[in-house]
Structure 1
Amino acid sequence: MPTLFSFLLRALLLAAGLVMAAAVACVFVLLMALWFVRAAWCRLTGRPVSPFVMGAGPRAAFDEMMRRAQAQPASRTPRADAAAGVRRPLVDVTDVEPK
């Protein structure tokens, strides 16, 4: 009985894996077909055919983070900011002397 159960479990998992692989392959084929239709339309209308590209350079996320940090959006906790008092930016550090 345990052997039959383990065999059925393995067969079920194999079938689930094959169904998942077939679904991923169908999505891939559909996306490729859409891209070929788009490329044919671009060639037909005289436009340049450009590939689908996601521009994600290694510095893009860092630049976005720095841009957001400099924007200083409105605080989501205005009462806590009011209780903390007004913060002034530090202009210069005076307690450190260079050697």
Structure 2
Amino acid sequence: MNLLLRAVLVLAGLVFAASLALVVALMFALWGLRAAWARLTGRPIAPFVVRMHPFGAFDDMVRRNAPASRTPRADAVAPGRPIADVTDVEAKR
């Protein structure tokens, strides 16, 4: 039984590796056709480029989840309006 399970797992791994290799080969073939067509038509051959910032998703998440401040800031006052005097709060005993 143990030998049969191992054989099935090895066979499943080989099928997965073969399918993955087939997908990669198909992608290379499509890219080669695209490059050949670009060369035939006289266009520049542009590579497939995925532009991404390594920490972009993290920065977006932090920015999206930041709670809005409920206290007014001094620099949020319109330029023409005078800023009111700020008084300290006295602590209770």
Structure exhibiting the larger radius of gyration computed from Cα positions: 2
TM superposition score normalised by structure 1: 0.60
TM-superposition CA deviations, 1:58-98 (whole Å, max 9, x none) = 354366558868xxxxxxxxxxxxxxxxx855224x77xxx
Taking a change above 3 Å as real, the CA distance of residues 49 and 64 of structure 1, as seen in their structure-2 partners, is farther
Structure 2 residues not aligned, in runs of 5+:
75-87
Greater per-residue helix proportion: 1
Structure 1 residues not aligned, in runs of 5+:
70-86
TM superposition score normalised by structure 2: 0.64
Let me know the Cα RMSD of the aligned residues: 2.9
Match of 1:84 in 2: none
- State the aligned residue count: 75
Are residue 14 (structure 1) and residue 41 (structure 2) matched?
no
Indicate the percent of aligned positions where both proteins have the same amino acid.
Answer: 52
Match for 2:54 among 38, 43, 58?
58
